Chains A and B, each alone.
Chain A
Amino acid sequence: MTLIEPILEPLADIGGPAQPLLDVKNLTKHFPVGGGFLAEKKTVRAVDDVSFSIAKGETVGIVGESGCGKSTTARLLMHLMPRNAGEILFDGETVGGTLTMRDFRRGMQMVFQDSYASLNPRLTIEDSIAFGPKVHGIADKEARVLARDLMGKVGLRPEVFANRYPHEVSGGQRQRVNIARALALKPRLVILDEAVSALDKSVEAQVLNLLTDLKREFGLTYLFISHDLNVVRYISDRVLVMYLGQVVELGPVDEVWDGPAHPYTRALLAAMPALDPDQRTQEPPITGDPPNPIDPPPGCRFHTRCAFFEPVCAEACPALAPVAGGAHFAACHMVIPGSGHSRAPKAGGNP
């Protein structure tokens, strides 16, 4: 099993444990839509000024409704599409700066939601896993040994699965293949973009356990993107709530769950079906559809659906502000001292 190590060394830790593995600053992506003759040119602000960081060995979850910019964020972080603005620091380095794209590719890998679309239907499972290492200069034979070794690690018997094609295995097995493929380059950070969302509940649990095991074994850091709050709570250390391309709340998963500060987060949590009748909440359920991201409302983007709407919400866009000391932040006028919202803490006072 130690066969991999001499072939493909994982990238070295540079900044030590104190430096975040990933530091994202003001990440922004606008898509132009329409345009051309007689059509007004508009932009979708898919990701708008998003900043966060991920510590080494941590699992950070991103939650939000579909269309909130989760997947775009993932692709931006992977450098699969150009960004309009912002900085992505991988262990203190930027691609194009001191880090080559080639090394960056090895350091950060991704597992996609659609297990079928993310595997080439013309390649065997073994070929798919071995492709990455081969790109990075590993000889065909060694890459195959490595691929079979990884198949064992993700719980697929190589002698059964190595020569199969993606359509010949189940969804859960395919997602295991995708995980093995992502791990083949010995990455330090793995982005899991809705990686378990399409799976049956029982299979989902197995894959989640596998992910936890692999994290321990390979010393991985995860960015876990999902719309499933239960899953995010189960696997994440910290969580990031996105709404229409912006981060609205950010903090340790238990703190956010126990004391959600942003009305959107509260609504999301309230919308989760509670199994215990005593746990039923009286929170106002979220109303309406998310506004069109082509034309986001001014001010706080959530104000059109917010139960605590006051004029200030439509005027100024609230920045992330600390909620309860340390690591919990929310972008809501109700937590910003002196914001002008009637429920805001008094300016200067302790929140």
Chain B
Amino acid sequence: MLVYILRRIIYVIPIVIAVALVCFLLVHITPGDPLVAVLPADASAELAAQMRAAYGFDRPLPVQFGLWIWQALHGNLGTSIASGRPVLAEVTQAVGNTFILAVTASLIGFFFGVFFGLVAGYFRNTWVDKVATSIAVAGVSVPHYWLGMVLVIIFSVWLNWLPAVGNGPGGWAWDWVHMRHLILPAVTMSVIPMGIVTRTVRALTGDILSQDFVEALRSKGLKETQVFRHVVKNAAPTAVAVMGLQLGYLLGGSILIETVFSWPGTGFLLNSAIFQRDLPLLQGTILVLALFFVFLNLVVDIAQASIDPRIKRS
């Protein structure tokens, strides 16, 4: 097991380097000069050259990449062109907010996904199954930014129960004032993992129930609830793994929902970085999110291997 973990970690290193390279190159496929955003329109050539040197844009690409990586390893992701603050500080603050949102959404999605999936798989081809699968298909097909708007219309505009934007006054706290702000974006965000987990768990349950060992359990005289427990046990590793990956997708894909709800997370940060052409900030945010995603993949793999006895050796 330890060897498996070590090997898995070693395999991640080239991926991490490649991810960093892609993030780095993103800036260099940009049409136009990355300095345009900060330079005044009438800047002299001299000033432009100075700025270029200050940001290191005058050196050859491989050197720039090397320096960038070296700085990044020391926790320096550069300075935001727009705000002048260190990129890392901006990103860290935003990541926290996105994390709160994504984890809450994952938990909601996982809970309902497992529930619908088990029910649908257990009562396959009945009306219960049809309802549950319809909800699942709707969950993965709905443009969630639109769903967010609809929920705002219903719960904020019509019913006036919940706030429509922001994450509450001051910093985040787990109190009702702040959590009220969390409900709508988290529910909106949860529909995608809910749909995907439902589909996965439904398929798993169906597969497990059709296996011979279930027949053996029943013929042994086990109660249906006990059989059901075996089904849950067998479906759990895959369901958890799917959920882990979904959390990663949510963290990286929160931009649309954060825009709808003005949630001050990474998506919101990305949005402003893009429209202010703040490339260091854009680069830094994407790098942090991608590395987090790689890390999460690694954790999911190792967790799955340690739960599921069958894949320990592979």
> A residues bordering B, Cβ < 8 Å?
36-39
**10 contacting pairs across A/B (C-beta < 8 A):** A36-B7, A37-B7, A37-B10, A37-B11, A38-B3, A38-B6, A38-B7, A38-B10, A39-B3, A39-B7
Residues of A within 8 A of B3 (CB): 38-39
Consensus secondary structure, chain A interface: loop
User: How distant is B68 from chain A, measured CB to nearest CB, in Å?
Assistant: 27
Residues on A with beta carbons closer than 8 Å to the beta carbon of B7: 36-39
Which residues of A lie under 8 Å from residue B10 when comparing CB positions? 37-38
- Beta-carbon nearest neighbor of B6 in chain A: A38
- Once the chains are docked, how many angstroms separate the CA of A38 from the CA of B3? 7
Residues of A within 8 A of B6 (CB): 38
Complex interface: chain B residues within 8 A of A39 (CB) = 3, 7
Min distance, Cβ B90 to any Cβ of chain A, angstroms: 37
Complex Cα–Cα for A38 and B7 (A)? 7
> In the complex, what distance in Å separates the CA atom of A38 from the CA atom of B10?
10
**Which residues of B1-27 have CB atoms within 8 Å of chain A's CB atoms?**
3, 6-7, 10-11
Closest Cβ of chain B: how far from A189's Cβ, in Å?
A: 39
The smallest C-beta distance from B6 to any residue of chain A, in angstroms, reads 6
Complex Cα distance A36/B4, Å?
12
Residue of A nearest to B2 (CB): A38
Return chain B residues, CB-CB under 8 Å to A36: 7
Interface string of B240-269 (1 = CB under 8 A from A): 000000000000000000000000000000
Chain A: CB-nearest residue to B9? A37
B interface list, Cβ under 8 A from A: 3, 6-7, 10-11
Q: Which residue of B lies closest to A37 (CB)?
A: B10
When chains A and B are docked, how far (Å) is the Cα of A36 from the Cα of B10? Answer: 11
- Complex CA distance for A37 and B13, rounded to whole angstroms: 13
In Å, the complex CA distance between A38 and B6 comes to: 8
Q: How far does the alpha carbon of A39 sit from the alpha carbon of B11 in the complex, in Å? A: 13
In the complex, A111→B7 CA distance in Å? Answer: 41
The 8 closest A-B pairs by CB, nearest first: A37-B10, A38-B7, A38-B3, A37-B7, A38-B6, A39-B7, A36-B7, A38-B10
When distances are taken between beta carbons in the complex, the residues of chain B under 8 Å from A37 are: 7, 10-11
Residue among A36, A37, A39 with most chain B CB within 10 A = A37
Q: In the complex, what's the smallest C-beta–C-beta distance from B218 to chain A, in angstroms?
A: 31
Q: Which residue of B lies closest to A36 (CB)?
A: B7
For the complex, give the distance between the alpha carbons of A266 and B11 in Å. Answer: 49
Q: How far apart sit A294 and B25, CA to CA, in the bound complex (Å)?
A: 45
How many Å from the CB of A303 to the closest CB on chain B? 28
Bound-complex Cα distance A39 to B6 (A): 11
Task: For the complex, give the distance between the alpha carbons of A36 and B3 in Å.
Answer: 12
Question: Bound state CA distance, A134 and B3, in angstroms?
Answer: 52
A37 and B3 alpha carbons, distance in the complex (Å)? 10
5 further A-B pairs in the complex, CB-CB below 8 A; given A38-B7, A39-B3:
A37-B7, A37-B10, A37-B11, A38-B3, A39-B7
Give the chain A neighbours of B11 by CB distance below 8 A: 37
In the bound assembly, the distance between CA atoms of A37 and B11 in angstroms comes to: 9
B312: shortest Cβ distance to chain A, in Å? 14
Q: How far is the CA of A286 from the CA of B72 in the complex (A)?
A: 64
Closest to B4 in A: A38
B-chain residues with CB within 8 Å of residue A38 when the two chains form the complex: 3, 6-7, 10
Q: Would you give the shortest CB distance from B193 to chain A, in whole angstroms?
A: 33
In the bound complex, what is the Cα–Cα distance between A80 and B89 (angstroms)?
A: 59
CB of A39, distance to nearest CB on chain B (Å): 7
Complex formed: what's the CA distance from A118 to B11 in Å?
36
B2 to chain A, nearest CB (A): 10
How many angstroms between the C-alpha atoms of A36 and B7 in the bound complex? 9
Q: Closest CB of chain A to B206's CB: distance in Å?
A: 23
Q: How far is the CB of A47 from chain B (nearest CB, A)?
A: 26
Among A36, A38, A39, residue most surrounded by chain B Cβ atoms (within 10 Å): A38
Tell me the complex Cα distance, A36–B6, Å: 12
CB distance from B126 to the nearest CB of A (A): 30
* A39 CA / B7 CA spacing, docked (Å): 9
Q: How far is the CB of B302 from chain A (nearest CB, A)?
A: 15
A37 to B10, CA, bound (A): 8
When chains A and B are docked, how far (Å) is the Cα of A39 from the Cα of B3? 9
Minimum Cβ distance to chain B for residue A33 (Å) = 12
What is the CB-to-nearest-CB distance from A294 to chain B, in angstroms, rounded to a whole number? 13
* Docked complex Cα distance between A93 and B172 (Å): 82
Bound-state CA distance A42–B11 (Å) is 20
A226 and B248 CA atoms in complex are apart in Å by 51
A194–B217 alpha-carbon span in the complex (Å): 36
A38–B2 alpha-carbon span in the complex (Å): 11
Q: How far is the CA of A37 from the CA of B5 in the complex (A)?
A: 12
Q: Which residue of A lies closest to B11 (CB)?
A: A37
Q: How far is the CB of B86 from chain A (nearest CB, A)?
A: 36
CB distance from A167 to the nearest CB of B (A): 21
Complex Cα gap A197–B21 (Å): 54
> For the complex, what is the distance from the CA of A343 to the CA of B112, rounded to whole Å?
73
**Nearest CB on A from B55, distance (A):** 38
CB distance from A37 to the nearest CB of B (A): 5
Nearest Cβ in chain A — how far from B102, in angstroms? Answer: 33
- Distance to closest chain A CB from B12 (angstroms): 12
Q: How far is the CB of A99 from the nearest CB of chain B, in Å?
A: 42
Shortest Cβ distance from A286 into chain B, in angstroms? 28
**Nearest-CB distance from A309 to chain B (Å)?**
31
- What is the CA–CA distance of A143 and B11 in the complex, to the nearest angstrom? 51
Min CB distance, B272 to chain A, in Å? 42
